[in-house]
Structure 1
Amino acid sequence: MDHMTEHSINRTVHQKTIVTKLTRFVLGIIILQAIIFSVILIVGGVIEQARESAFQLFHDKVTNRRDYVQREMKNSWINFDPYVSNIVEYLPMDSTSPDRFFESAVQDLIAMLRATQVTGAYVILIPEYSRMSNDLKSLPALYLRDYDPLMNSYGDDDIYMLCGPSGLAGQLKLPLDQTWLKTLNVAQADNAFIARPYQNVTTASKAAYYGYWSKPFKLSDNDVAIVTYSMPLFDKSGTLRGIIGIDLTLNYLAEYLPASELQPQDSLGYLIAYRELDERGEFAYYPMIMGGPLQQRMIDSNSALSLKNVDDNLGISELINHEGNEALYASMERIGLYQTNTPFEDEEWYLVGIMRSDYLFSYVNRIRQTLVVSLFVAILIGAIGGIIISIQMTKPIVALAKQVKEGERHREIKFEPTGLAELDALASAVESANQAMMESASRLSKIVDMFELPIGAFEMNMTMNRVYITDHFGEIIGWPEIGEHTEMTPEAFTSVLQAVFTVPEGDSPDVFEIGDRWIRFKKTDNGIGIVMDVTDEILEKRQMILERDHDALTMILNRKGFQWAFERWYASKREGEAALIMLDLDNLKGINDSYGHHWGDQYIIYAVKHLIGMASAENTIIGRRSGDEIVVLLHSFETKAIIRQHLDSFYETLKDSPMSFPNDTWKTVTISAGVMWIESDSMTYEGLLHYADEALYEAKRSGKDHYVESDRIS
């Protein structure tokens, strides 16, 4: 009896040991598979690629914004050479009577202010005694300011005189600014915008080479902060007489640096910094033009930016010296201010975009969290399943190991009944364990599906001549017949991949278009690869381009979008007749005053609707330059007469289609237009636009509601 009891105890202990070992074994298999799946994602470069994509997108946004600001600088803000030539004609040959000169030059200065769409324009004369004594105080000047240059006005009542003859302001009905002075008197510390271009002149032949961008300053204590661009002013004999230039208020400049472009909420946005040597002889970046209150609260504008380099190629750095616990990243792009071999080429400004790390790496963090949760769930399921399976296993360990070794991983193991209850029970348990191990290969894929991550993975095992595929891999690449249990050789699978991934997306060689979706495909040299559905990312990128290039009200091209479309057409192989047409809605101000801006917007939309139907879409490019100014390119027509027929038909349609307004009022939409024929490629876009604009104003002066053809030859 004692012998039987001892034997039972020993067998019980032996059974508990088997359960423990088998539980650990099954659990280890589950954990190993979870780790393998995670390693596949990491080795496949998913996390690193997501991080690089975040940096690339950040860099692209800052670069695009830098390019946009540079284009505004060169094509709009400092593009005033024609007006300088006119103003030079009025310069007297001596320093007497500056008021008469200002009376002659004021209209050209107003036109320069309007055309460049800046907030200020000025002409400052430097008398001979000031030049000899180098005293730049109390200088005769004509300084005009438009605080909202994008707001169209039919008169000049929105232009203020900061400096100049008060009699001239009264004559032109220009309001005097609250800081108005008869002559310009700036502090010594703030006269760089005059002194730098004036004192660095060596020849009168290239005045634009001495153009100078100033750092922010105020003309007086009560004035707004501005930056200026000044050029030396020579008379017809080549004598240096003063400077001419424009200014931009920092508030207006901030409109070209929208913080929401980088981050929809709580964005630090952009700032502009300048680079110079610090006390240690090393280059440092100092904030110069700051963004909103959040940026000003977190970044010290009086100290150099402390930067830790993260990515040399993309110019990404981590910003060290800031308030707050969140990590900040900065993308820096140099703004091209000056030409080479000019006096100020060493002065460098940088556009700096700043983003919080939690938003920049939101997608990366989501992938990491998903992997952690997946691993935890796999361990939990493995522990529970291992215990259940191990309790049921009673077959001898040696036989189990032998048959498992002889069987194939992807095939189900079946044991013949032995007639022994214990062995049959153990065989049944081993069969269950084998089935659980087969199911574990797809368990992580199901967990990933729970978190809605469109990711698939594969491994080509050359030794076993077999391909292992995760669940939904076939659905992602558009071949649903390929599943987790599909048996394929590496050669056949490679042929499938070559047939699927044939159309790369633009400049992304690892992204391919498949039907109406875009798939990222990465493969390592050892046969492991992943696919990821990135359709949302591509569509978001395309939507950003659409919003950048189109007018929000009319959904036609905006100012810059039209210019890019025109220049692409202009650089292409052109055939037939073409015309650039500037149009201006004649009565928009009256509509706004009478019915409100909502009806003014409807007035614009109504006009655009008829413009869109003027000619076939493949022959027409339409853009909105500003509130009531629309520009149209009609191209690829056999004759000019056909273009004129389309224009005449458009005007007839407007006359026959009055627009309904409140109180049963009907009004005809009237438009004045100027036509510039494009007959060669000798002119720039700005030149063609200038002559079309001249013809437009001739149409305005000669009665409106018709078009006038320019007599200029392109």
Structure 2
Amino acid sequence: MAAGPQTPYCLAGDDRNAIAYSLPLILPDGTVYGVVGVELLTDYLQTKLPFTELDEDKAGTYFIVTTTDDALTDDVLSLRKTVTSGEDLVTADAPLGVLNCRSDGNGGNWAELNGKRYYMMLEQLQLYNRNAPFAAEKWFLAGTMEQSVLLAFSNRVREVLLATLLFTLVLSVLGSLLISARLASPINHLYREVIDAQEKKTFPHLSRTAIREVDRFAETITELNKELVTNSTKFLRIMDMASVEIGGYELRTDTGSVFVTDNFFPLLGMPKIQGKPLSVRRFEEVLKDIREKNPCARTAEGDELLTIQQPDGVRYIMLRSTIEGHAKIGLAEDVTAAVLERKRIEHERDHDILTGLYNRQAFNRVCTELFAAPERMGVAALMMMDLDNLKHINDTYGHDWGDQYIRRTGQCLRDNTPAGTVCARLSGDEFLVLFHGYRSRDAVREKIDRLTNAMQQSVALLPSGNALHISLSGGIAWYPDDGQDWETLKKYADFAMYQVKHADKGRVEEFDIGVYNREAYAERTRREFRQLLSNAQVFYCFQPIFSARSGKVVAYEALMRSDLPTLRSPATIMKLAREQGALYEIERITFTKALETFDSLCRAGSVSEEAMLFVNSIANTCLSHEDGKYINNHWHELCHRMVVEITEEEAIDYEALEKKRNAPGFSGMFALDDYGSGYSNENTLLQLAPRFIKVDIAIIRGIDTSPDKQQILRNVVAYAHPRSMKIVAEGVETAAELRTVIELGTDLLQGYFLARPAIVPGDIAPEAVAIIRELQRQKKD
């Protein structure tokens, strides 16, 4: 069995130390067939350990050590020293006991030997196979060197570097002190020269320092100061020559100093302050006192505009200030000329040149501001006035006399209205006056009466020798009862004024909301009528006309309708057309829109293609040849089935009637509408010779209970049938009326009982059909 190495021992009969080493001999099949034992002298091994290569001074030592530790425990490795090399007596004579070394984390170790610290590097020696009996025992070659010897060079280098750094630092400090002293002396001399010049209030003359950079800097400062003095002198001369007077000041909060130009306080209306220099606090108190004693307003830019009363008149001073660091700089500028010019422009902008009253723009602006503050308005009255007879004066005596008339009116308004009353001339002969801030209407009426009496008493002699009195027609609207905003009140006052001018001039009347509403409705109606004409804004419904014998539809009457709020009734449309001379436009719209709409119904199959179309026409109006031709070209076939109804509102113009009869493509069929009322009488029957006679609803209504109405219808039937005229009963609304008119010989039937008008007309009512059939059976029986 193999034995591991032992600690050194002495050979028998020899005092030299040796170590023994044994190794088993093993066959390939694992059989141990012998042991080899080796003894090595430690002196021999020492000769094989070249310790001199570790250090030139032979301060290094090699060890052969062994251990059975598997790893470091708490960074400590226990080693047994076996062989030592070197002449280091300390290590050579070290006991062969256990060496404890600690790792430094970088592959090296530190060990304590005889009270000295050594640096040790370990290199493991592979002597045994992994499965050998002594494989757990590890051999190392350890190289050691004393710490002081190993680090001697680095320590010397560090000491040299530290000494060099300290020496350099001392030299730098000494050099800096010498250079600073050399530079500070001439600069300090320059500083004393500047201080002396400042105390003497003279321009400093800087001496040379023999330092090139400092001398250049001093020369630059000298040149800049000279340039500054030159420019300041030029600027002061320019200011002295300028027409605008300017003064200024500078306050230093860090030093407490105050600089004020000589003309600053005189500009603000007070003499220059004498005595000891002003402090910042004293200066601000003086400036505050000036502001309190004189009117002061702020501009949109934040500047102050002071109104200073001077012996030579009012002066306007603009005061501006700004803060830059510890300095507050202010400027006072005489802007009297600019302010007076601006006020002149504003006066010309806001006032009428002829009368001196407000113009329209200024009046609107002032009133808008007043109406935005109801507490200032109280009870108020807006009076709008129009001069009477101005055109007559201009035409008769010339515009110079007309201007004098206007000028005298403006003078009366200024002299006879209380302070605060807003008066304006709006245009050539229109004036506006706003009385505001009163407690009652009576108080305002008193002022208005005083004004109107003063105007009536104002007299001027015309070139003709006649006396000219101011005559005004005016209207008054009250705040807040009539309106609470400026536009509404002006509209109402204007309305009241024109009511006076259209009735009896020379008076002033108050606004009446009832009259205004009626007039407003009438105006709205007229406006919508103009809209109707411009856009042909009408549509048509169609009411069927049925045969009294079969109940079948024979024709349709086109009935005008409008969806405009105030023009729902065709009668209203016709009334406005007569008033505004627009009967022709209504005639043209009626024919074109009725034919166009009915043609669309025919194409859609919504009406009978053989039915006639009754179209209402104005008796004294006829379409032009061009319009007639246009209608014939577009609806030629339909014109052959068209029946022209002559309405009863107008007397028949027989010349116009003849033109209608000969209109291009016209069938020649007429219907006399509303017979029995208005202009529809026997003479009309003779002149018109209509194909159809439409008996008025006034006769048809209640005909079943009125023998007189029945007799009238009998007479019409008796006259019409021999002349091939057909009778149409209009407005049949009950079954009894239907029975009666059929029994009396009516040919055609129209009314709500049979069918109502509609955009797409419907069929005859079943009740009506039943009555017609019943009466026909009775005749046959």
* Bin of the TM-score, shorter chain as denominator length: 0.3 to 0.5
TM-score norm. by structure 1 comes to: 0.37
Structure number with larger C-alpha Rg: 2
Which structure would you say has the larger RCO, counting Cα contacts within 8 Å and 6 or more residues apart?
1
TM-score norm. by structure 2 comes to: 0.34
